[in-house]
Amino acid sequence: MVSSLDGFIAKVDGSVSWMHSADNYDKGIELTDAYIADFLKAIDCYMMGSHTYEHALELGWPYGDVPVYVLTGRPLKSDKANVQFISGDLTEIVLKKLKPNYTNIWMVGGTKLTKELLRLDLVDDINVTIVPTLLGNGTLFFDYIGKERPLHLKDVTAFKDGMVELWYEIKKE
C-alpha cells in the first residue's frame, strides 16, 4: 500500500494523484524500473476488492498476466484471462484456495478487505510506502481494526524521492 504520512490512501474524492514525490533525499536509493520489476517478480498472485479492481482498470492495468482474485459480491466482468471473481468466506478463500497454490499473495489497495484480513489473522506482512505528504483527510488505511497487533520490522528502504518503504511482519500471538 502507498500511504500519506498521516495514514490516508486516497483523498476525500477518491483520487490518488498525490501518490508521487518530487522530494530529494540524497541518502536514498533510486526507484528504478529494474527495482520495481524485481519486486513484482516475487508476487505470484494478487488479491483485491472490487472497488480497487475498478480503480486499477481506470488507472491502467499494472498486474500483467499474474493471477488476480477479485473479492466481490457484485456481478463483474473482465476481458482478462488472469482475473477471477470470487466471493464467500475469506478464511476459506485464503487458506484453502490461495495459500496452497501461491507463495506470495499480495493484497492490493482498499481498506475494507485489508481490515477484514487483519481481523481474521490472515495477513503475514504489511508493506507500506509512505509518501512525504500530509493529506489531512480522506480514506484511512488502518481505521479501527479492533485489535492490537504487535509487529516486527523486517526492512526499511528510503528512496531518493523521499518515499520510505516499511516492511513489517505481523507477530503471531
Per DSSP, the residues of 94-135 read IIIIITTT-S-EEEES-HHHHHHHHHTT--SEEEEEEES---
pLDDT of res. 165: 95
> For 29, phi and psi rounded to 5 degrees?
-95, 155
Q: How confident is the model at residue 25 (pLDDT cuts 50, 70, 90)?
A: very high
Q: Rounded to whole angstroms, how far apart are CA atoms 5 and 8?
A: 8
Q: Is the per-residue pLDDT at 153 higher than 80? A: yes
Kindly state the average pLDDT of the residues 1-7. 92
pLDDT of res. 33: 87
pLDDT in tens, 83-142: 999 999 999 999 999 999 999 999 987 788 888 999 899 999 999 999 999 999 998 887
Kindly state the average pLDDT of the residues 26-33. 92
3-class secondary-structure state, position 153: strand
Q: Is the per-residue pLDDT at 15 higher than 90? A: no
> Hey, what amino acid is at 172?
K
Kindly state the average pLDDT of the residues 6-27. 91
Q: Rounded to whole angstroms, how far apart are CA atoms 144 and 165?
A: 22
Q: HSE-up of 76 (CA within 13 Å, CB side)? A: 21
pLDDT in tens, 34-75: 988 888 899 999 999 998 898 888 888 888 899 999 999 899
Q: Is the per-residue pLDDT at 5 higher than 80? A: yes
Q: Which residue has the higher pLDDT, 145 or 150?
A: 150
Torsion over CA: 11, 125, 155, 66 (sign): negative
Indicate the pTM of the whole model: 0.85
Cell numbers standing for residue 19: 501518490
pLDDT of res. 55: 83
